[in-house]
Amino acid sequence: MCGIAAILSREGPVPADALQRATVALRHRGPDGEGTWIAPSGRAGLGHTLLAITDPDGHQPIASEDGRLHIIHNGQFYDYQRIRASLEQKGHRFRTRSDSEIALHLYEDLGPACLKHLRGQFAFVIWNEESGVLFAARDRFGLKPLHYATKDDRLYLASEAKALLAAGVAPGWDMRAVYHALHACPDERISLFAGISQLPPGHLLHASAAGVRVERYWDLPAPSRRANRRAAQPVRSAITRKAPSPDLAEAIERIRELTEESIRLRMVASVPVGCLLSGGLDSSAVLGVAASCTDDPVAAFTVGFERRDFDESVGASEAAAAAGAEHHLVTLSDAELADSFADAVWHAETIQYNTHGAARYLLSRGVRDAGYKSMLAGEGADEAFFGYEFLRATAGSGRRPGPGKLLRILSGLLRSPSRHYPGLAAASPWLARLALMLPAAPSLFTRLARGLGHIHSVFSADFREDFAGYDLYRAYYRRCGRTADLSRREPSRRLLYLWLHSLFVNYHLAADRLDMAHGVEVRLPFLDHHLFEYTNSLPVPLLANHLREKHLLREAMRSYIPDPVYDRVKRPFWGPTAVRAQGGPLHEFLQDTLRGDACRSVPFLDHAAVVDLLDGLPSLPEEDRPSLDSLLLMLASVAVLQERYRL
């Protein structure tokens, strides 16, 4: 896990000072070393900051045997030892012990097809001095970030947008990206910063004197027609007293094998690997398997809160004790969250919807202070095993509708979206109409509708006018429909696909930047593409039609988790709220930030409307408080970005 930066110059030499500034801006991602290199031709420059995980001396860039190719890499390749042995048998000579070097030699042999053989979380850049071609790629789920921009006939690439700004890209807001992010539908192709794009997950970039080309190399496969037919067949639940069906038993066994393999591969490092532990099923399962891979106690880190209604540390302690782990509890006060919120936003480069971003930032600081730099975590299990309520609620909609459902759909078509979901209808008539036809998951649309109603009230008149008539949800669905053939996917898998390519990659996975702010890498076994592709091939009812969520994972990990975890109902991770804590540190932080000059200078906000919202908090209806809490933290995030990045 490292920080990478690159510059490709079409005319004239690469500016060494710009490359140096970009690299220095990523120092937090690689505190174990840094360096820059400019090709003999002067056409390309590479910068790298090192977080030593597999090779303490793995400084980059790394050159191929003949010196034609140079690579910089951020992330980890798993199962790299087997691939390295195979490459050595073919005559390749390795300069380092780093896992990064396998990508260089695979690219020598296979070109872009090397990506088929790489397993892990990664973003890397390879420069070919002979051909003048720069090749870059990002992992399948987008676990590692990679941004790029063009300026003055030069292409700039870096792990984080702040490095591109440091290199000389002019700061400014990308208004379309802001509009999408404030509507909880961030675009995976662009960043919040004008002129700075993101290489989407599962994509590669090819740059030369002829220009820049971006293309997809992997996507979550659409189920076969046979799988869709199987999905329509009923599945017996193992929760009943009847014997489980052979398909269910086979799936549980295969999930156990793939999960064990994924975690075992991610335990390979030259430093101790610990676990981030919440006490829920996902992280407890990871800890249980990890503990079985080593004779030494695994270090487990849990974030707790002084406000007991948000604290889950007791459940985490049970899971840690069952695994024989060395448990570290990082207990946070509201004052600490308030003091760190701005730093977390600056590092994440995203709009925060909750205080859990600040909590993750502080948890990773605790990991670093305890002397650890590599962690496992349970993110991705809800996506792989249909753990979210909105996925489970939609899972039954793939069957042929019966009379009752047809009646609900028809009644939805006859109702007025603006009357039932006024905030949603104002932003997206298409989604509001869809909400009326999907009564299985009303809570999702109700929460979204409340939030959107408040959001639009604080937009400036010019900002509203710029996007008048733009239905972003419909546009996003149509774009994904064209690129991913959503028509072949069942409704719940369509929703999963949309989630993976919007909030998941642009918000949840932005935790990478919160962890790497302290030089801590986090590995996510449930986002191993071998495991994820297998669960994606299973019939939806097999995943979703059980009394408890993630039943297949629960059964597969039964021997690794204690009874309280096995029986525990899913609870989403939320940091302490600010609106409810009237007069507390978080509430004061919001008041100071949103009434201040930074918020006043945000070009797309009506500051007077923001102040009116703050003045109305004491009389706010109880049902509006959760959505207002998210909105105010979003607005505070915007104010922080405006001030810190001088937008």
By percentage, how much of the chain surpasses pLDDT 70? 87
Look up residue 79 and give its amino acid.
Answer: D
Which CATH number belongs to the domain containing residue 27 in this structure? 3.60.20.10
Among the listed residues 480, 536, 534, 530, the one whose alpha carbon sits nearest the alpha carbon of residue 228: 536
Which pLDDT does position 302 carry in this prediction? 96
Q: Which domain holds residue 588?
A: 577-647
Establish if 263 belongs to a structural domain.
yes
Which pLDDT does position 422 carry in this prediction? 62
Which pLDDT does position 310 carry in this prediction? 74
Q: Are the beta carbons of 133 and 45 closer than 8 angstroms?
A: no
Establish if 487 belongs to a structural domain.
no
Q: Please state the rounded mean pLDDT for residues 203-216.
A: 96
Residue appearing with tokens 């933290």: 633
- Asked whether residue 313 falls in the same domain as residue 355, the answer is yes
Residue pLDDT, tens place only, 221-234: 987 655 545 544 44
Among the listed residues 187, 76, 181, 167, the one whose alpha carbon sits nearest the alpha carbon of residue 121: 76
Look up residue 275 and give its amino acid.
Answer: C
- Asked whether residue 536 falls in the same domain as residue 623, the answer is no
- Asked whether residue 175 falls in the same domain as residue 36, the answer is yes
Give the least confident one: 197-206, 306-315, 550-559.
306-315
Say if residue 61 is preceded by a cis peptide, omega within 30 of 0: yes
Q: Are the beta carbons of 227 and 201 closer than 8 angstroms?
A: no
- Asked whether residue 106 falls in the same domain as residue 78, the answer is yes
Looking at the DSSP assignment, which residues form a beta bridge with residue 507? none
Sheet containing 62-63, strands listed edge to edge, beginning at the edge strand earlier in sequence: 62-63, 69-77, 120-128, 133-138, 203-208, 211-216
Taking residue 252's Cβ as centre, other Cβ atoms within 10 Å add up to: 21
Establish if 379 belongs to a structural domain.
yes
Q: Are the beta carbons of 467 and 439 closer than 8 angstroms?
A: no
Residue appearing with tokens 């030259």: 270
Establish if 153 belongs to a structural domain.
yes
Instruction: Give the domain-ending residue among 516, 532, 567.
Output: 567
- DSSP E strands in 380-513: the ranges are none
Q: Are strands 34-38 and 2-9 parallel, antiparallel or unpaired?
A: unpaired
> Which CA distances in Å does 177 have to 168, 241, 473?
21, 51, 13
Give the least confident one: 68-82, 382-396, 398-412.
398-412
Establish if 614 belongs to a structural domain.
yes
Instruction: Give the domain-ending residue among 161, 183, 216.
Output: 216
> Tokens in use for 445?
């649309």
Instruction: Give the domain-ending residue among 522, 538, 567.
Output: 567
Which pLDDT does position 259 carry in this prediction? 98
pTM (2 d.p.): 0.92
Which pLDDT does position 424 carry in this prediction? 67
Predicted confidence (pLDDT) at residue 524 exceeds the cutoff of 60: yes
Which pLDDT does position 408 carry in this prediction? 45
Which pLDDT does position 339 carry in this prediction? 97
The overall average pLDDT reported for the chain is 88
Q: Please state the rounded mean pLDDT for residues 303-324.
A: 88
Which CATH number belongs to the domain containing residue 338 in this structure? 3.40.50.620
Q: Please state the rounded mean pLDDT for residues 405-413.
A: 41
- Asked whether residue 523 falls in the same domain as residue 623, the answer is no
- Asked whether residue 38 falls in the same domain as residue 10, the answer is yes
- Asked whether residue 601 falls in the same domain as residue 521, the answer is no
Q: Give how many domains the chain has, as a whole number.
A: 3
Establish if 390 belongs to a structural domain.
no
Predicted confidence (pLDDT) at residue 536 exceeds the cutoff of 80: yes
Residue pLDDT, tens place only, 56-67: 778 999 999 999
Which pLDDT does position 415 carry in this prediction? 46
- Asked whether residue 29 falls in the same domain as residue 113, the answer is yes
- Residue 194 CA to residue 174 CA, distance in Å, equals 4
Residue 627's pLDDT band (cuts 50, 70, 90): confident
Residue pLDDT, tens place only, 151-188: 999 999 999 999 999 999 999 999 999 999 999 899 99
- Asked whether residue 156 falls in the same domain as residue 282, the answer is no
> Which CA distances in Å does 62 have to 20, 47, 105, 244, 505?
18, 11, 11, 52, 29
- Asked whether residue 197 falls in the same domain as residue 174, the answer is yes
Residue 580's pLDDT band (cuts 50, 70, 90): low
Look up residue 593 and give its amino acid.
Answer: T
- Asked whether residue 178 falls in the same domain as residue 31, the answer is yes
**Higher confidence at residue 506 or residue 451?**
506
Question: Which range is most confident: 196-200, 350-354, 393-397?
Answer: 196-200
Establish if 31 belongs to a structural domain.
yes
Residue appearing with tokens 């448990």: 327
- Asked whether residue 111 falls in the same domain as residue 200, the answer is yes
By percentage, how much of the chain surpasses pLDDT 90? 70
Which pLDDT does position 311 carry in this prediction? 74
Predicted confidence (pLDDT) at residue 131 exceeds the cutoff of 90: yes
**Higher confidence at residue 489 or residue 426?**
489
Residue pLDDT, tens place only, 141-160: 999 999 999 999 999 999 99
Predicted confidence (pLDDT) at residue 240 exceeds the cutoff of 50: no
Which pLDDT does position 426 carry in this prediction? 67
- Residue 307 CA to residue 575 CA, distance in Å, equals 10
Establish if 351 belongs to a structural domain.
yes
Which pLDDT does position 232 carry in this prediction? 44
Q: Are strands 326-332 and 374-376 parallel, antiparallel or unpaired?
A: unpaired
